[in-house]
Amino acid sequence: MSPDAPDAPDACLPANRGGCGCEVKFDGASPAYRRVLLAVIAINLAGFIAILIGSLAQGSAALAANAMDFLADSATYAISLWVIGKSVQIRSGAAMFKSLSLVVMAISVMGYAIWRAVTGQPPDGSVITSLGLFGFAANLVAALLLVRYREGDANVRSVWLCTRNDLVHSLGVAGAGGLVWLTGSRWPDLLAGALLGGVFLQSAFSILQQARREMRERAA
């Protein structure tokens, strides 16, 4: 069967990318991308440990959201590394799993923010700001490593989207710490945590949409 035939089952797979005339998305199958993913996983694990300690010490909803973000990213990037080179169905399924994990994380963060609103005392704003800036620096290094791989299939794109969003998250955490320090109130911290949960939901929806689209295209 000619690779130009519309019903060729593998017409758009990387092995045939020279002859089908269709757009082929980068699926991460390169040694350089694997090395970058390993480095980014290490950065996120270090960020998770540091910010989790601060979150537990301060009882901060914003820091808790940021710590969970680092942990979730470490896990999802490890999944992305594992599925490289596997079938479109497996890669898209992994992306869907990531999107569901983001939904769970969003619900957890919002629940923690509500609990802290009822029971908590104002955390130390300077600690929140310092750890927020630390998180921003860690995510900036990860983003610089990943920026050349920002376009690709649902798996590759989910890695970039998570890292890009994390830059905004960390600045939001730092800003919330400044407002806590200025006002002496816990509400900026709680609102930041809730807003980060909303961003997780938006990212989950975006990843899920692309994964479902790729599965439909593969089936067609």
Report the CATH number that the domain containing residue 89 is assigned in CATH: 1.20.1510
Domain presence at residue 116 = yes
- pTM, 2 dp: 0.68
SS3 of 163-178: HHHHHHHHHHHHHHHH
Domain limits at 115?
Answer: 31-219
Distance CA 53, CA 145 (A): 26
The distance of Cα 197 from the centroid of its chain, to the nearest Å, equals: 12
Contact 56, 37 (CB under 8 A): no
Domain presence at residue 167 = yes
- Domain count for the chain, please give it: 1
Domain presence at residue 10 = no
For 137: left if phi > 0, alpha if psi spans -120 to 50, otherwise beta; the answer is alpha
pLDDT digit string (tens) for the chain, length 220 residues: 433 333 333 334 343 344 444 455 776 678 888 899 899 999 999 999 999 998 888 888 788 878 888 887 888 788 878 877 777 677 677 777 777 777 877 787 777 777 766 666 667 888 889 999 999 999 999 999 988 887 777 677 778 877 887 888 788 888 888 888 888 888 888 888 777 777 777 777 777 776 777 677 767 6
Domain presence at residue 9 = no
Domain presence at residue 88 = yes
Domain presence at residue 22 = no
